[in-house]
Copies of this chain bind each other. A is one copy, B any other.
Amino acid sequence: MNRVRVLLADDHAILRSGLRLLLEREPDMAVAGEATDGREAVDWMAREGADVVVMDVGMPGLNGIEATGQIVRRYPQAGVVMLSMHSDETYVLRCLRAGARGYVLKESAEHELIAAIRAVRAGKSFFSPKVTRLLQQEHVERIRCAGGEDSYDLLTEREREILQRIAEGSSNKEVAGRLCLSVHTVETHRKNILEKLNLHGPADLILYAVRKGIVV
């Protein structure tokens, strides 16, 4: 029988061990090897090869996204399934651009990963439902601004300045006072920021700023 040869790339040994057991239960799959970072994954592909790589996004050294780029470029017949904690648009898009054809969240049930491996092996794609929904929104977003890499790029200078002040804990009124603007103006900017970033409510706004590194 021709089993899918899978390479597991993740810096957490415990997760790798668990995944190995999960995959070995499937009659059509075999774990060909393990890698603890992106560099090792690329090296393994050069040495031994594999049909599908299950790749963690966040790894020390060469991260999963860059490793995916290198692997897909050199071995286009190999498929890559990203395994990620985040359903963040930035991550997902960067992974897709790097050439991954699968994106499975760690919060998903195991059958999603199994399905993703089979799909990618067959030249198809597979995304966790949550990611699919995100991609649909992103598609809408993309129409508005062709080639928009990052939603943050959509913001104008003024909007970024105001976002930062809001993220530092200022109310609209305070921002208006410090920038010598009408509260109405700040409200308008804030409204536009929320819309461009597809956020809702002040909490979302602050969390976005934190995750973007705009404030700590």
Contacts and interface: CB of A to CB of B under 8 A. Distances in A.
Interface string A160-182: 00000011111100000000000
A15 B168 CA distance: 26
A170 B166 CA distance: 18
Given A169-B204, A206-B203, A207-B169, A18 B22 contact: yes
Contact of A107 (B11, B168, B202): B11
B13 A17 contact: no
A132 interface: no
A113 B14 contact: yes
Contacts of A205: 203
Contacts of A113: 14
B203 A14 contact: no
A203 B108 contact: no
A201 interface: yes
Q: What are the 7 closest A-B residue pairs judged by CB atoms, nearest first? A: A18-B18, A12-B106, A21-B21, A206-B206, A17-B110, A169-B203, A202-B202
Interface of A: 11-15, 17-19, 21-22, 25, 36, 83, 85, 104, 106-110, 113, 166-171, 201-207, 210-211, 215-216
